[in-house]
A and B are shown apart, each in its own frame.
Chain A
Amino acid sequence: MRLDVFGATMRVNKTETCRGVVAVSRGVQVMTCTRCIYDEKVSEISFDNEGVCNYCRQVDSLVSSYGTGTARGELKFRKLVEKIKLVQQNADYDCIVGVSGGTDSSFLLLLAKEVGLRPLAVHYDNTWNSAVATQNIAIVTKKLGIDLVTYVIDNKEQDQTKLAILKAGVPEFDADTDIAFISVLRKVAAYHRVKYILEGHSFVTEGISPIGGNYFDNAYVMDICRRFGDFKPKSFPSLGFWTFLKWSVIYRQQIIRPLWYLEYDKTSARKRLQEELGWRYYGGHHLENRASAFAHTVWLPQRFGVDLRNLSLAADVRSGKRTREEAIREYGTPVHVEKNLVRYVKKRLDLTDDEYLLLMNGPRRTWRQFKTYKRRFELLRPLFYVLARFGMVPMSFYLKYCFPLRKHS
């Protein structure tokens, strides 16, 4: 049986779980990077004559240009901080920090205060938060004396959107949250006349997510809702194409990734957060929100055979936190699903057991079958190159969105 997922054709073997483009194949020989654990099925991967994959090389080149974890990187960051303070001196805040209650964003707040910035914390609440997330946000912002803005989407509309995504059978269960989060950050930044948005991504601890995997943009979400939900989201904080350009080019908003410059290790970050602020660890990437927990532990692995643990495991291997053998072994273990999560999803989305089963076994689709801005991004590549060079859009955005994707055979 052949399936079309992420633009790549896969063979599905009825005796094993469906192989996705980013899953290490269980027990079958595939070409694997000699350095990390990405294998040939990872989208847009290639190997050089040392057998090292392009994603490793990309991380190497980013480390080199940003000086990550070195004195040079530290200096670059300090200079950036001074510039931010200068530019923002007349505004209420220096920077916006998007928070989720997780390790990276909580650590960013601590870091921002340490270097003397005046951050405004912004939280997008998709109404699927766990207690650990909201408590962590409360504890960290209160202890550090940081103001918080939240935007809560209408709960009934959110559930309609999630249901539409399930019916559409696409992998990006959390696409709407991803867009909404960025949209809210930028809107709040514009309102407070703040140019700088701090973001907690770290290519050292998370790697670069494969191009072609997990596509999202505003048009995509809207089209899914229209075709599979028969509604137009109203309380959803839209980030349309022109709005995106407005924030980037006219408002000159910049995304700053401090963790691209500085030494960062999640374990010590968590320790500091716990000891200094009473923050709590929730046990896994993105598990502070029930919708993303469902996406990562149920929807992607069971529906598409996609196990995104390879992102952080590969990053651990590259940074020397784990050996390659350990990581491959860990990746071979089954994905842990929190006991009552599926029951909760059925309850929220008002699904009977049978309806849920139908959704878990229905036709699979990809972003290519929907209206998106992808083509437009590709056609405007030169413009986005310039914007990326000037930090107005993330370089990772440029790399991911502005190039046509190879179709795998």
Chain B
Amino acid sequence: MITIVDYRMGNIGSLVNMFQHIGEEVIVTNEPADILRADKLLLPGVGAYGIAMQRINGLPGLRDALDEVVLNREIPILGICLGMQLFTDFSEEGNQEGLGWIPGSVVRLALQPELRVPHMGWNEVKITNRTPMTESISKHSRFYFAHSYHVVVADANTRMLSTVYGEEFNSGINHKNIFGVQFHPEKSLKSGMEILRSFSEM
């Protein structure tokens, strides 16, 4: 059972569809009681860092419940796209404080003359540090990205996947029970399905 955190930002419909397809039950909620009962969490996200943190902090009891289950009980959590970025301390975008679960910050993708921002489309990943989630990734895996900002981490051990778009950036991070991917597994066909499946089997 996967508990998807609903703070009204993110492609929850597609996530629910993909989990249904792989036969995994999901609930979509922002009730602290549901969060506290969760076995596994999923934090989606599309949009602006600042607005996202405001929403999460604004929903009564949600922030505390998340901190409790993620930091104390250490249940597995997967952050997707903006969801992964929220794990950090702060972002250039909007100068907001994040959840602070993985030391690091969010910066804009470097603008180079020939690059178009946002980074949008299919790209490959390289495994920087192996984790249970990277087992499902092969050299044929490709994932769909759609973002203008990326995560820089303080501790190199928390890097999990990297991708090249102009510069090399972290496309996946991990610290203990906390996993994040910059791409959208729910929109990455088979490769993405394998990521969500490996998360559901943890």
Query: When A and B assemble into the complex, do they touch directly, with CB atoms less than 8 Å apart?
Result: yes
Across the A-B interface, the 4 shortest Cβ-Cβ residue pairs: A340-B21, A339-B23, A343-B20, A339-B21
Specify the chain A residue showing the minimal Cβ separation from B20: A343
CA distance A343 to B20 in the complex (A): 10
- Chain A: residues with CB nearer than 8 A to chain B? 339-340, 343
Whole-angstrom distance from the CB of A352 to the nearest CB of chain B? 16
Q: Sample 4 A-B pairs with CB under 8 A, ordered by A number.
A: A339-B21, A339-B23, A340-B21, A343-B20
Specify the chain A residue showing the minimal Cβ separation from B21: A340
Contact with A along B10-24 (1 / 0, CB 8 A): 000000000011010
- Chain B: residues with CB nearer than 8 A to chain A? 20-21, 23
B-chain residues with CB within 8 Å of residue A343 when the two chains form the complex: 20
B-chain residues with CB within 8 Å of residue A340 when the two chains form the complex: 21
Specify the chain A residue showing the minimal Cβ separation from B22: A339
CA distance A360 to B58 in the complex (A): 48
Specify the chain A residue showing the minimal Cβ separation from B23: A339
Whole-angstrom distance from the CB of A234 to the nearest CB of chain B? 34
A-chain residues with CB within 8 Å of residue B21 when the two chains form the complex: 339-340
Whole-angstrom distance from the CB of A323 to the nearest CB of chain B? 36
Specify the chain B residue showing the minimal Cβ separation from A343: B20
B-chain residues with CB within 8 Å of residue A339 when the two chains form the complex: 21, 23
CA distance A340 to B22 in the complex (A): 9
Whole-angstrom distance from the CB of A348 to the nearest CB of chain B? 16
Specify the chain B residue showing the minimal Cβ separation from A339: B23
Whole-angstrom distance from the CB of B13 to the nearest CB of chain A? 14
A-chain residues with CB within 8 Å of residue B20 when the two chains form the complex: 343
Whole-angstrom distance from the CB of A385 to the nearest CB of chain B? 53
Whole-angstrom distance from the CB of A343 to the nearest CB of chain B? 8
CA distance A339 to B20 in the complex (A): 10
Specify the chain B residue showing the minimal Cβ separation from A340: B21
CA distance A339 to B21 in the complex (A): 8
Whole-angstrom distance from the CB of B200 to the nearest CB of chain A? 15
A-chain residues with CB within 8 Å of residue B23 when the two chains form the complex: 339
Whole-angstrom distance from the CB of B194 to the nearest CB of chain A? 16
CA distance A340 to B19 in the complex (A): 12
CA distance A339 to B24 in the complex (A): 12
Whole-angstrom distance from the CB of B88 to the nearest CB of chain A? 37
CA distance A340 to B20 in the complex (A): 9
CA distance A339 to B22 in the complex (A): 9
Whole-angstrom distance from the CB of A346 to the nearest CB of chain B? 12
CA distance A343 to B21 in the complex (A): 10
Whole-angstrom distance from the CB of B197 to the nearest CB of chain A? 13
Whole-angstrom distance from the CB of A369 to the nearest CB of chain B? 38
Whole-angstrom distance from the CB of B2 to the nearest CB of chain A? 18
Whole-angstrom distance from the CB of A339 to the nearest CB of chain B? 7
CA distance A340 to B23 in the complex (A): 9
Whole-angstrom distance from the CB of A130 to the nearest CB of chain B? 16
CA distance A20 to B23 in the complex (A): 31
CA distance A251 to B23 in the complex (A): 53
CA distance A322 to B21 in the complex (A): 35
Whole-angstrom distance from the CB of A345 to the nearest CB of chain B? 15
